[in-house]
């Protein structure tokens, strides 16, 4: 049995949550695209998870995940003020990853990587932000696709299931619409 090193423990702490979020996306594309992908942990500089076709019929998917920054919610403030913060935080997350991989000394080809934004706002609020006008500004983004993932609700047993999450496209790389899972 392999010895657990401090590095392996840190990698596992990072990859388990990322794999959960990748499963939300994989469930979505399998359900609405008729694919047979399975999410696999993978950790390199540019890739956090992979989608592998069980049958080998479909090409491998490379996924990079990033959190959208949270902020304090004050129920006394109008919702429109929060929509502005949500929009800024989504733009910041996309910009941060785009700059990280396409600018500076080391430039990466991210044209085969799907950027998955790990979100915390509800689908209803996300739909108010992810309008076609907002999404159009990312058509020329170098990532293959950009999707906003909505965390699943917790069931009566206190568990989250990836199939209960939601996926909203910002720069689609599949011909799906905004669909609740």
User: Does the pTM of the predicted model rise above 0.95?
Assistant: no
Is 181 contained in some domain?
Answer: no
Burial class (CB in 10 A: 0-12, 13-18, 19+), 15: middle
Q: Which pLDDT belongs to residue 120?
A: 81
* Residue 176 within a domain: no
Once rounded to an integer, what is the mean pLDDT over residues 26-51?
92
Domain count, the chain: 1
Q: Is residue 84 part of a domain?
A: yes
The answer as to whether 166 is a domain residue is yes
Residue 108 has pLDDT above 80, yes or no: yes
- Give buried/exposed letters for 159-170 (b at 16+ CB in 10 A, else e): eebbebbbbbbb
Contact 14, 43 (CB under 8 A): yes
pLDDT for 12 equals 47
**Could you give the angle at the alpha carbon of 49 between the alpha carbons of 177 and 47, nearest 5°?**
100
Task: Give the CB-side neighbour count of residue 32, counting CA atoms within 13 A.
Answer: 17
Q: How far apart are CA 83 and CA 161, in angstroms?
A: 27
Examine the pLDDT at 57 and tell me if it is beyond 50: yes
Task: Determine the structural domain holding residue 144 and report its residue range.
Answer: 8-171
Does any domain span residue 121? yes
Q: Which of 65, 48, 91 is nearest to 149 (CA)?
A: 65
Confidence of residue 17 (pLDDT cuts 50, 70, 90): confident
Residue 153: per-residue pLDDT? 77
Q: Is the per-residue pLDDT at 25 higher than 60?
A: yes
Task: For residue 97, tell me if it sits in a domain.
Answer: yes
* 72 within domain boundaries: yes
Q: Is residue 178 part of a domain?
A: no
């Amino acid at each position: 049995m392999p010895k657990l090193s401090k590095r392996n423990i840190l990698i596992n702490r990072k990859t388990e949550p990322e794999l959960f979020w990748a499963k939300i996306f994989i469930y979505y594309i399998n359900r609405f695209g008729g694919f047979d992908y399975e999410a696999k942990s993978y950790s390199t500089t540019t890739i956090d998870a992979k989608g592998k076709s069980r049958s080998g019929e479909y090409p491998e998917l490379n996924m990079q995940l990033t959190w959208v920054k949270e902020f304090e919610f004050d129920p006394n403030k109008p919702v429109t003020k929060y929509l502005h913060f949500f929009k800024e935080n989504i733009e910041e997350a996309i910009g941060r990853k785009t700059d990280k991989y396409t600018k500076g000394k080391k430039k990466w080809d991210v044209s085969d990587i799907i950027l998955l934004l790990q979100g915390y706002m509800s689908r209803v609020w996300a739909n108010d932000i992810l309008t076609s006008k907002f999404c159009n500004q990312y058509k020329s983004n170098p990532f293959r696709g950009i999707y906003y993932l909505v965390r699943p609700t917790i069931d009566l047993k206190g568990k989250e299931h990836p199939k209960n999450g939601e996926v909203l496209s910002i720069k689609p790389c599949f011909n799906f619409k905004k669909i609740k899972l």
